[in-house]
């Protein structure tokens, strides 16, 4: 009986430590802003228009343009395959492309097909690809 109680006590301590860690993480998160209540519309009172003198217009604010963020160039799988083909003088076979790029054979075939359509690659022999 005592052993069971000691085991339960250890489990409770472990759970309380986990709860404290979770509480610390949750307390660091941003607290949501309270929702504002919508004010009810007040009844409109009729007023007599007063004569006013023309006022000067406030100065216009000029918007300061921020510089455009630099575009990150994404390297596609076709770019990777073409880079390997471009490096070789005599052409590259499919096994070499698989080895150097880490892509599977089907992905190599699909990307070579795309490069052929664009006219960037030709294959003089079966399974050999050369830069056009």
pLDDT tens, position by position, 63-107: 777 887 877 778 889 999 999 999 988 889 999 999 999 999 999
- Residue 129 belongs to what H/E stretch? strand 128-131
Task: Assess if residue 31 is contained within a domain.
Answer: no
Residues whose CB falls within 8 Å of the CB of residue 107, separated by 6 or more in sequence, listed in order: 77
Number of domain units in the chain: 1
* Tally of helices (H runs) and strands (E runs) in the chain: 4, 3
Task: Assess if residue 82 is contained within a domain.
Answer: yes
Closest C-alpha to 83, from 39, 129, 33: 129
The whole-model pTM stands at 0.46
pLDDT bracket for residue 52 (50, 70, 90)? low
Task: Assess if residue 121 is contained within a domain.
Answer: yes
Task: Assess if residue 112 is contained within a domain.
Answer: yes
Task: Assess if residue 11 is contained within a domain.
Answer: no
Task: Assess if residue 64 is contained within a domain.
Answer: no
Q: Considering the chain, what is the average pLDDT of its residues? A: 82
User: In CATH, what number is assigned to the domain containing residue 114?
Assistant: 1.10.10.10
pLDDT bracket for residue 128 (50, 70, 90)? very high
Closest C-alpha to 92, from 107, 108, 71, 76: 108
Count how many residues are written for the chain.
132
Domain membership of residue 93 as a residue range: 77-131
């Amino acid at each position: 009986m005592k052993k069971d109680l000691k085991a339960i006590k250890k489990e409770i301590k472990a759970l309380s430590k986990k709860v404290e860690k979770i509480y610390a993480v949750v307390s660091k998160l941003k607290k949501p802003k309270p929702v504002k209540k919508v004010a009810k519309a007040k009844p409109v009172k009729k007023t007599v228009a007063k004569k006013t003198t023309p006022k000067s217009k406030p100065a216009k604010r000029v918007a300061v343009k921020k510089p455009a963020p630099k575009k990150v160039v994404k390297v596609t799988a076709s770019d990777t395959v073409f880079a390997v083909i471009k490096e070789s003088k005599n052409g590259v076979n499919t096994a070499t492309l698989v080895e150097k790029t880490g892509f599977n054979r089907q992905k190599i075939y699909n990307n070579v097909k795309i490069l052929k359509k664009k006219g960037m690659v030709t294959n003089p022999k079966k399974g050999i690809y050369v830069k056009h």
